[in-house]
């Protein structure tokens, strides 16, 4: 099973809206404003990109990445903010392929981070299987 990551474009809006809606339902994110997310994707930004995962000409998921440049490091950190795979395509290694593809495409990054809900056992196991190291960081919001 070979996937292709396609950079999000304006005409992908309906597909992306549907997948973001599913992502929010499955991750129980009430604070996620889907309209703002789509508007920002449509405006574009040098600090983040969205890629739609294509399999046999079908959109089966997406990955959202952010590029950060901390003042204490000499280079760019690739931060994977969201990964989503449609239910019917899960457990086929697609999320792992998306992560590997993005890491290969941005191989100049000095570090790669992934934001994962610590209660998402499947995502936690995936990160461990890919040799990502868990950091003792807690996020506080107001």
The tens digit of pLDDT for each residue in 5-51 reads 999 999 999 999 999 988 888 877 666 777 888 888 889 888 999 99
Residue 137 lies in a domain: no
What pLDDT score was predicted for residue 31? 63
* H helices present in the chain, as ranges: 13-27, 34-43, 94-105, 121-129
Q: What is the CATH number of the domain that holds 33?
A: 3.40.630.30
Residue 12 sits at φ, ψ, to 5 deg, of -85, 0
* Domain interval for residue 87: 3-130
User: What total of structural domains would you count in the chain?
Assistant: 1
Q: Please say whether the beta carbons of 53 and 94 come within 8 A.
A: yes
What pLDDT score was predicted for residue 94? 96
With 0-12 / 13-18 / 19 or more C-beta atoms within 10 angstroms meaning exposed / middle / buried, residue 83 is buried
What pLDDT score was predicted for residue 30? 66
Residue 141 lies in a domain: no
pTM of the model: 0.88
Residue 135 lies in a domain: no
């Amino acid at each position: 099973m070979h996937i292709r990551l396609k950079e999000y474009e304006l005409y992908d809006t309906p597909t992306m809206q549907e997948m973001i809606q599913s992502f929010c339902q499955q991750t129980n994110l009430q604070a996620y404003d889907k309209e703002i997310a789509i508007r920002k994707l449509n405006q574009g930004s040098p600090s983040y990109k969205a890629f739609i995962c294509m399999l046999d000409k079908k959109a089966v998921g997406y990955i959202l990445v952010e590029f950060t440049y901390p003042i204490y490091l000499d280079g760019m950190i690739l931060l994977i903010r969201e990964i989503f795979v449609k239910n019917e395509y899960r457990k086929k290694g697609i999320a792992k392929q998306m992560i590997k593809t993005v890491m290969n495409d941005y191989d100049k990054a000095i570090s790669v981070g992934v934001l994962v809900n610590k209660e998402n056992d499947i995502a936690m196991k995936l990160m461990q299987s890919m040799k990502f190291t868990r950091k003792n960081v807690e996020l506080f919001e107001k």
